[in-house]
A and B are shown apart, each in its own frame.
Chain A
């Protein structure tokens, strides 16, 4: 049973860079697409982007200019960086596992990131 465990800074100031990492335990890193999805408090879900084991990425155009996804196959980790954050980026950020063009089936526990001066 695959488990995703994520971590990163929970409080940022405007214009700083959000950085989160997700570790994959109990499953293969290859053959899957690894996503980041966020949810502002009390609101709906927004897909940020995904990366596969080869480093191939897909990004949401609404965030593409500020987002970088990376992966480390040797550690079974993948990471999210979001630059120049504002209060609008305050959300619970989830990592998740899926396949190409498929609904993610395993999710991390979520990390609340708050942007406040």
Chain B
């Protein structure tokens, strides 16, 4: 199975900060990567698919980049509602596999 290594596992940031989260695949996955946001007690919400495509309804402050093995999720200006846990998911090969998650906390 393809392993997805996500970093950092947690970070503290302030409202208005630019935040980046990275995900590295154990082998090349082209651009077959999605990013999710999960808030406590809720199902994950898809933010980005195909590494850089913004899911409908998701604010433009979220962006994704990368291909092959290295990927980045960026939040250009952190808002109060963005404090959550973020996961990457590779959908290049079965079984689909998730990164370990990044918890974004308020500084």
Q: Which residues of A contact B (CB under 8 A)?
A: 35, 44-47, 49, 58-62, 94, 96, 98, 101-105, 107-110
Interface residue count on the B side (C-beta < 8 Å): 23
Q: Which residues of A have CB within 8 Å of B32?
A: 101
User: Is residue B89 contacting chain A, with contact meaning CB distance below 8 A?
Assistant: yes
Dominant secondary structure at the B interface: loop
Complex formed: what's the CA distance from A83 to B46 in Å?
30
**Bound-state Cα–Cα, A54 to B50, Å:** 25
CB distance from A109 to the nearest CB of B (A): 6
Asked if A58 contacts B98 (CB within 8 A), the reply is no
Residues of A within 8 A of B36 (CB): 103
Chain B interfacial positions (CB closer than 8 Å to A): 1, 32-34, 36, 43-46, 49, 55, 87, 89, 91-92, 94-101
Could you say which residues of chain B place their CB within 8 Å of the CB of A102? 34, 49, 91
B44 touching A44, Cβ below 8 Å: no
Contacts of A58 in B (CB 8 A): 94-95
Say yes or no: A62 contacts B43, CB within 8 Å.
Answer: no
